[in-house]
Amino acid sequence: MKIKKVFIVLGITIVVVIGVVLERSKISSVKVIMGGNYAKEVHEVNDKEVDNSDEDYSLEQFFRPSKLPILNNKIEKSLYDSYGKKPNEINLPKELLKTSEDTILNYFSVLREAANPLDETTTGCGTMGDAKGPYPVAYNFLSNSYKERLTYKKYLKSFENKLHINLVKLSKVAPDKDKPNDLKYFVEIEVIEGDKEKKGLFAYYYGYIYLDEKNGVYKIKDMNYTPENYLCAPYHGWSYDAKSFVEIEYGDWCSLIKGDVVVESQGYEKKVYFKDKDNNEYYVLFYTLTNGSDIKIADYKKNKDGKWELVYIEPKNCLDKNKY
């Protein structure tokens, strides 16, 4: 009987150990880019054409770079003294972390002049900006829990071939459904990358930054970045156009739309309004990227008091079962 119990305990132990090893392997295999998890672009592949006959509609919007002024233009000279130090030797001034937006703006201001070139894609003339000096400083904008998942070595490697970073869009957005208390921000960044032909290339990424607060200090707890594609939308693109997106996914897929769909734009923000068969009012919030694509941010529904409330609608669920 004792031998049987020993084998049972041994078996349970082996299962637990294997589970831990597999979980660690899964975490370590995640691709990291610029300190954040690499998020693959997801879009619907469909050859349904977008109506571009309107004289105000032009495919040129998908090919032009950003004309927006950069947001990460702060210069904190006191941080220069930390260049050359190891990450664990650096203590950031608390005034750089006093609000969530301060943290993000200061983080990208530190990274603006950082450069981690590769030998085979050398670009520029001599040393670029502050070279690798800013990375240990930037790493300290991450929370301790994030650092436990992302070592400095892996963090530094994720910036390979990134030679200059401009923050061009920053906006607080609604939290994820499964993380209602998290602070979440939308960002878009403009990156100069090296090339084997020794020329700098502009690349754009959008993503989300999550923060938490502890003792009046805000630090970054997670990041995700998705590279922007400049040739999908103009050639295959209803899912990149806010109005078409809503008409197809909320209308065709979910039968949620009654009447006209109305679009209101202000800056890079678009709100697409519609009503359902019961005259409930909705709008879907989108942000327009530098490449001209519209990215869904959140859904809102007007309550009985006439106020807009955050709701979570997943049109893909309608393809399996009409939930809305």
242-287 pLDDT tens trace: 999 999 999 999 999 999 999 999 999 999 999 999 999 999 999 9
Q: Which residue has the higher pLDDT, 226 or 233?
A: 226
Residue 151, number of CB atoms within 10 A of its CB? 14
Q: Check: CB of residue 71 under 8 Å from CB of residue 105.
A: yes
pLDDT at 52 exceeding the cut of 50 = no
pLDDT at 217 exceeding the cut of 70 = yes
DSSP string, 271-297: EEEEE-TT--EEEEEEEE-TTS-EEEE
Q: Which residue has the higher pLDDT, 19 or 176?
A: 176
Q: Is 310 helix (H, G, I), strand (E, B) or coil?
A: strand
What are residue 292's phi and psi, to 5 degrees? Answer: 90, -10
Long-range contacts of the stretch 159-162 (C-beta < 8 A, 24+): 159/34, 159/35, 159/114, 159/116, 159/135, 160/116, 160/118, 161/116, 161/117, 161/118, 161/121, 161/193, 161/194, 162/34, 162/114, 162/115, 162/116, 162/191, 162/192, 162/193
CATH numbers and ranges of domains, the chain: 70-227 (3.10.450), 238-319 (3.10.450)
Q: Check: CB of residue 75 under 8 Å from CB of residue 109.
A: yes
Residue 178, number of CB atoms within 10 A of its CB? 7
pLDDT at 203 exceeding the cut of 90 = yes
pLDDT at 317 exceeding the cut of 60 = yes
pLDDT at 323 exceeding the cut of 70 = no
What was the pLDDT predicted at 11? 56
The CA distance from 13 to 3, in Å, is: 15
What was the pLDDT predicted at 75? 86
The CA distance from 235 to 242, in Å, is: 16
Tokens of 260: 């006209």
**Percent of the chain residues past pLDDT 90, beyond the cut:** 62
The CA distance from 97 to 61, in Å, is: 36
What are residue 301's phi and psi, to 5 degrees? Answer: -130, 140
Collect all residues with Cβ–Cβ distance below 8 Å to 107 and sequence separation of at least 6: 138, 141, 220
Q: How many CA atoms lie within 13 A of 160 on its CB side?
A: 10
The CA distance from 23 to 215, in Å, is: 31
Residue 104 to residues 226, 308, 312: CA-CA distances in angstroms?
18, 28, 26
Q: Check: CB of residue 159 under 8 Å from CB of residue 114.
A: yes
The CA distance from 212 to 183, in Å, is: 7
* pLDDT tier, 112 (very low <50, low <70, confident <90, very high otherwise): very high
The CA distance from 149 to 221, in Å, is: 10
What was the pLDDT predicted at 45? 53
